[in-house]
Every structure is written in structure tokens, then in C-alpha cells.
Amino acid sequence: MANKGPSFGLSRDVQAKIEKKYDDELEERLVEWVVAQCGTDVGRPDRGRLGFQVWLKNGIVLGKLINSLHPSGSKPVKIPDPPPTMVFKQMEQIAQFLKAAEDYGVVKTDVFQTVDLFEAKDMAAVQRTLVALGSIAVTKDDGNYRGDPSWFMKKAQENKRDFSSSQLKEGKNVIGLQMGSNQGASQAGMTGYGRPRQIIS
């Protein structure tokens, strides 16, 4: 990882737009959830984007979070002790979390890239991933979610319907209202529209 200097011009504008998407209120809610889910031993970050990034950067908190959503026998992420200090080990820890999150049910488009967190390129994407993870945990409702269920939206679930053949046959006789209705239709009271076209030679 090379140290990046300040960006100028278009790259600075793009970075500024990305940073505007970061939500401080959402950060507070996510911190509350992570602490409720993992226990107080994960600590709390300093307020703000940078504090949140430093808190999650080595991947240990994220690993503990995804492990706490699984039953005690199956922990998808190994938590090294002591926490890794080498850059590639920390990035590997984040990558393990991302893989486990996808396996848990987070859609690939909701998953952030390792550099989004490690180099603080897009912390809003990190927030989106954690929100998606929380939503899936609330939706699964398997007893492993700890915290207030109202913090995340429940995902829509399949509602499959089985109709008997007689019900399907009855449905063919119904004229849907999208197709209009023929009840009470008549041309009574209709008049011609305007004058006919005048052709003058």
C-alpha cells in the first residue's frame, strides 16, 4: 500500500461525493447493534467516519459480528489472538468477513470492497453492507440476532400460493378491470366530434 497524497480536480470531487453519502446517525445505530450483538469487549469507536474506520479496520470486530450471527458450533471466521498487525493479515481478515457475509445471504452488490474499509475509500459502502447483514439477521429470526429488531428492515419473504385446477378455471372467466368493463356500455348521448375535414380545390 503506497501512501496516497491529496487528490485534486475530478478525483477530489468524486471522493467528496462518496464521503457525503456517509450517515453519522446510521453509524450510531450500527455501533449500538455491533456492541449489543458482540458484547462490550469490542469497545466503541471514536465518533465520526475516521473513528468508525479505525475500529473496523483490522477485521476483528467484523469477524466477531459475523460469528455471533451463527450458532456456537459453526463460526465461519477465525479470530486470531493477538489481533493482526501486518497489513495483509488485516486485509485477509476483512476478506474472510466479506466471504462469510455473502454465505450468510448478503447480496454481492451490497458487499463492500476490502479497500473501501481499509483505505477509507467508501465508508458508506461499509455501512450499507452492515445494514444488509442486520436486515438478513432480523429476517432469519433464528434466535442469534441480539438488539432491537426495529433497527433494521425485514426483507420481503416468498409467499407462494397454490390454486386448485377449479380455481384456475374460474379465473379464466373473469374479465380483469385492466381490460376495461363492458357493463352499461352504450353510445347513447354521444355526438360527432367537430366538423368533417373540408377539402377545397
Q: What is the pLDDT of residues 125-144, one digit of tens each?
A: 898 999 999 999 888 888 78
By C-alpha distance, which of 173, 138, 170, 130 is closest to 154?
Answer: 138
Higher pLDDT, 6 or 140: 140
Residues 66-104 pLDDT 10s: 989 888 778 888 888 888 888 889 899 999 999 999 998
Most confident of 22-26, 31-35, 155-159, 164-168: 31-35
Q: Cα–Cα distance between 199 and 185 in angstroms, integer?
A: 34
pLDDT at 111: 93
CA dist 77 to 10, 43, 170, Å? 38, 19, 54
> Positive or negative CA dihedral for 65, 66, 71, 76?
negative
Look up residue 93 and give its DSSP letter: H
Q: Given a cut of 50, is residue 2 above it in pLDDT?
A: no
Altogether, the residues listed in the chain come to a count of: 201
pTM over 0.75: no
Q: Given a cut of 70, is residue 179 above it in pLDDT?
A: no
Q: Given a cut of 80, is residue 9 above it in pLDDT?
A: no
pLDDT at 129: 92
114 within 8 A of 94, measured Cβ to Cβ: yes
pLDDT at 43: 83
Whole-number mean pLDDT of the chain?
Answer: 81
Q: Cα–Cα distance between 109 and 87 in angstroms, integer?
A: 25
> 36 CB contacts (<8 Å, ≥6 apart)?
146, 147, 148
pLDDT at 191: 63
Q: Given a cut of 60, is residue 23 above it in pLDDT?
A: yes
Rg (C-alpha) for the chain, rounded Å, is 28
pLDDT at 1: 46
Q: Given a cut of 80, is residue 195 above it in pLDDT?
A: no
